[in-house]
Amino acid sequence: MSIFSLALTVLIGVLVFVAFFHFSNFLLDYFQVKKSKKFAWENSIRVVIFIGPAFIVLFVFIIYPVFETIRLSFYDKLGDNFVGLYNYAWAIKDPDFKRSIINNLGWLIVVPTLSTFFGLVIANLADRIWWGSIAKSIIFMPMAISFVGAGVIWKFMYDYRGPGDQQIGLLNAIAVALGFEPQAWLTIPIWNNFFLMAIMIWIQTGLALVIFSAALRTIPKETLDAARIDGASELKIFWKIIIPYLEQTILVIWTIITLLVLKVFDIIYAMTNGQWQTEVLANLMYDWMFRGGGDTGRGSVLAFCILIGVIPILAWNLYRHKQDQKV
């Protein structure tokens, strides 16, 4: 398609929504003026206009699919016949599923921990150094890059050439310079998962960093100064004052990254496509959505497993929201 027709499509798509809100409200105002008396239904109709489109989208794209996916997980391949727990029984026996769960658990432990830790350490370092803001910008930059883009970047880092050849991947070049054999990093089972996790950590540390940076500024300076006057070392201040103070923030960052990691798909799809024992739930699900014409039952079971992973976070968020509303 040409630039022009694409631009036109985009314009029309957006204008439809602007037009809807404008004309429906315009009409409502018009009738209200005409009736001159307080139009009894005005408020209700206005509410419907305001929340209608968003509610329909919310219902069609989130609420209905959640229940539909759960329903489909009890149905067969095409979603026609009820099969009870058959798909779940399949999943428990499936070796790919088992490996995906183990890998996902690995991701859930390693990535949030290291991202949060690095983010916290770097935020602390950067705040005390005059070129800290440039450093923060650089470390934050991968946040803007797509997972696939990051995949290419790191695939290039991990590139492997035979032992005699000159290595063009930085990691192997370093390995060779240190006197080791070059490795095809992404094909070594179990360890390759960590090389994939490194990419996610590389990206998410930036997120942790900026949020911690903002939070660090809220620590009262007097507290820190008092501790310094008392002769506490920087390391001690870090562990005894800063970390306890940032407890809430750490928890929030942890949950954000956990949510991202549960859904991780792009990195693995781009780097190994689940080969060499690197598959995770989201990749296995994508695979089953299309493998052999697609199996909605098995795909739904896998999606449901991801949902189960977020339920504790969901409950915690709702609980906190309720606490906030009370105040």
Residues of span 4-63 touching other proteins by CB under 8 A: 6-7, 9-10, 13-14, 17-18, 21, 25, 28-29, 32, 43-44, 46-47, 49-51, 53-55, 57-58, 60-63
Q: How far is the CB of 65 from other proteins (least distance, A)?
A: 4
Q: Which is nearer to other proteins, 277 or 288 (CB)?
A: 288
What the block records as the tokens of 81 is: 């016949």
- 142 lies in the site for other proteins, by CB under 8 A: yes
318 binds other proteins (CB under 8 A): yes
H helices, E strands: number in the chain: 16, 0
Nearer to other proteins, 47 or 85 (CB): 47
First to last CA, the chain: 54
The residues, ordered by sequence, that sit 6+ positions from 147 with a Cβ below 8 Å of its Cβ are: 199, 203, 265, 266, 267, 270
Site for other proteins in 152-171 (CB under 8 A): 152-157, 159, 166-170
Determine the Cα–Cα distance for residues 209 and 274; give it in Å rounded to an integer.
Answer: 30
- Can you tell me the distance from the alpha carbon of 208 to that of 26, in angstroms, rounded to the nearest whole number? 45
Give the residue with the Cβ less far from other proteins, 91 or 256: 256
Q: What residue type is assigned to position 37 of the chain?
A: K
Radius of gyration of the chain from its Cα atoms, rounded to whole angstroms? 26
Distance CA 305, CA 133 (A): 40
Closest distance of CB 82 from other proteins, Å: 17
- Is residue 151 within the footprint of other proteins (CB under 8 A)? yes
Nearest to 226 by CA among 236, 217, 216: 236
Confirm or reject binding of residue 303 to other proteins (CB under 8 A).
yes
93/217 with CB nearer other proteins: 217
For helices 296-326 and 95-127, what crossing angle results, to 10°? 40
What is the closest distance, in whole angstroms, from the C-beta atom of residue 299 to other proteins in the complex? 5
Each as own residue / partner, the long-range contacts of residues 167-173 (CB below 8 Å, 24 or more positions apart, any chain) are none
Which lies closer to other proteins via its Cβ, residue 173 or residue 188? 173
Question: For the range 46-51, what are the long-range contacts, defined as Cβ-Cβ under 8 Å and sequence gap of 24 or more?
Answer: 49/21, 49/24, 49/25
User: Could you give the string, one character per residue 260-299, with x where binding to other proteins holds by CB under 8 A and - elsewhere?
Assistant: --xx-xx--xx-----------x--xx--x------x--x
For residues 21 and 82, which CB has a smaller minimum distance to other proteins in the complex? 21
**Considering the complex, what minimum distance in angstroms separates the CB of residue 93 from other proteins?**
22
Count of residues in contact with other proteins, rule CB under 8 A: 113
> Of these, 89, 214, 226, 243, which contacts other proteins (CB under 8 A)?
214
Query: Of residues 101-130, which lie at the interface with other proteins (CB under 8 A)?
Result: 118, 121-122, 125-126, 128-129
Structure tokens at 214: 């903002």
Decide if residue 317 touches other proteins (CB under 8 A): yes
Instruction: Return d(Cα 121, Cα 109) in angstroms, integer.
Output: 18
